[in-house]
Chain A
Amino acid sequence: MAEINTNDIVRPENLTYVKSKILTDNVMHYCPGCGHSTAHRVLAEVIEEEDLQSRTVGITPVGCSVLMYNYIDVDFQEAAHGRAPALATAVKRLMPEKFVFTYQGDGDLAAIGTAETIHTCNRGENILILFINNGIYGMTGGQMAPTTLEGMKSSTSPYGREVATMGSPIKMADIVALLPGTCYVTRQSVNTAGGVRKLKRALKKAVQYQNEKRGTCFIEVVSNCPSGWKMTPVESNKWMEENMFPFYPLGDIKVPAE
């Protein structure tokens, strides 16, 4: 067998994977290894493959992902802290032909925006809520979030989260799955290639259900925060597998009847 040179392989006809064109060339401000960047990339791929670029409106939160509109080349609207689902409700009701999604972290969705999240899901607004759960407030310096695990250290729980005084971590996906308005609730991750591919399939399902006007789709992505957790990206992924996944098990929580 003749040896093949790398230069012979690197040709347009052999292309297997390249980042989506909808992801802009701006370098993302996220820390190395952050799950936000991976989630952005997958979302951009889905928007490109489903040909949604011209009719997508994204709602950005307050948190690390506040500058998301610099990285994905679709229309965006910035919401007040925690109010993304309320704004998404308005956008979807005014322009029902648009694909509307919110992208929120745990401080935005599970703390200041709990009311908006729950009532939007309860009304069954026809939107996609993408929830990035890394168990900590990344942007403000690693404070305890509602989703911080029991015993997990953060800058405002330096001896670990104590349930007696700080309460138990909140499972948002399980809560909204109980509401009749949600049609599809799932929990995914982005730490492995398999996880990323599953998230992509989940996002495509959410697009399909929104096109069919089936109700609110809620996708939780269990993610890492290497800087907030004070670990390297590889260590944080391992820590997440060992500690986050037992408490936040991956998989579909609610799927619509066919």
Chain B
Amino acid sequence: MAKIKGAVVIDRERCKGCEVCVVTCPTQTLALAVEVNAKGYHYSYAANPDACIGCANCAVVCPDGVITVYKVKVG
């Protein structure tokens, strides 16, 4: 069966760490980093990139438009 694999690219310097993407992600791919960016926000990152299905829900709710989503059909 064909499977969809996704990947997210997050502009960590523009991220404000609001966590809205983290709670929206259906596969728990995203998490807030322990480190902070130059503005002092705990930026969002793909903690579990293998789980990403490329649904783009994180990018659709991201207030600052920092998330870019890619997806590909494999298998």
Whether both chains belong to one complex is answered with: yes
Q: Residues of A at under 8 Å CB distance from B?
A: 1-2, 4, 6, 8-11, 14-20, 23, 27-28, 30-38, 41, 190-193, 196-197, 226, 232-234, 237
Tell me if A19 and B75 are in contact (CB < 8 A).
no
B34 interface residue per 8 A CB criterion: no
Q: How far is the CA of A232 from the CA of B71 in the complex (A)?
A: 31
> Distance (Å) between the CB of A24 and the closest chain B CB?
10
Of residues 57 through 75 on chain B, the ones whose CB sits less than 8 Å from some CB of chain A are: 57, 59-72, 74-75
Interface size on B, residues (CB 8 A): 35
Q: How far is the CA of A34 from the CA of B20 in the complex (A)?
A: 10
Tell me if B61 and A6 are in contact (CB < 8 A).
no
In the complex, residue of chain A having the shortest beta-carbon distance to the beta carbon of B26: A193
Number of A-B contacts (CB under 8 A): 102
Tell me if A17 and B61 are in contact (CB < 8 A).
no
Tell me if B63 and A35 are in contact (CB < 8 A).
yes
Residues of B within 8 A of A197 (CB): 60
Tell me if A16 and B70 are in contact (CB < 8 A).
yes
Q: How far is the CA of A30 from the CA of B65 in the complex (A)?
A: 13
Tell me if A16 and B63 are in contact (CB < 8 A).
no
Q: How far is the CA of A28 from the CA of B65 in the complex (A)?
A: 10
Tell me if A8 and B72 are in contact (CB < 8 A).
yes
Of residues 1 through 43 on chain B, the ones whose CB sits less than 8 Å from some CB of chain A are: 3, 5-7, 9, 14, 16-20, 23-24, 41
Q: How far is the CA of A30 from the CA of B64 in the complex (A)?
A: 9
Residues of A within 8 A of B17 (CB): 32
Knowing A15-B70, A233-B18, the reply to whether A10 touches B57 (Cβ < 8 A) is: no
Tell me if A14 and B63 are in contact (CB < 8 A).
no
Q: How far is the CA of A233 from the CA of B19 in the complex (A)?
A: 7
Contact of B64 among A1, A18, A20, A28 (CB under 8 A): A28
> Distance (Å) between the CB of B9 and the closest chain A CB?
6
Q: How far is the CA of A234 from the CA of B57 in the complex (A)?
A: 15
Residues of A within 8 A of B24 (CB): 192-193
Tell me if B60 and A196 are in contact (CB < 8 A).
yes
Residues of A within 8 A of B16 (CB): 31-33
Tell me if B70 and A11 are in contact (CB < 8 A).
yes
Contact of B49 among A6, A30, A193 (CB under 8 A): A6
Residues of A within 8 A of B68 (CB): 15, 17-19
> Distance (Å) between the CB of B47 and the closest chain A CB?
13
Q: How far is the CA of A192 from the CA of B59 in the complex (A)?
A: 11
Residues of A within 8 A of B54 (CB): 9, 16
Contact of A9 among B6, B55, B62 (CB under 8 A): B6
Residues of B within 8 A of A192 (CB): 24, 61
Residues of A within 8 A of B6 (CB): 9, 16
> Distance (Å) between the CB of A40 and the closest chain B CB?
9
Q: How far is the CA of A73 from the CA of B24 in the complex (A)?
A: 28
Knowing A32-B18, A32-B41, the reply to whether A1 touches B60 (Cβ < 8 A) is: no
Residues of A within 8 A of B60 (CB): 17, 193, 196-197
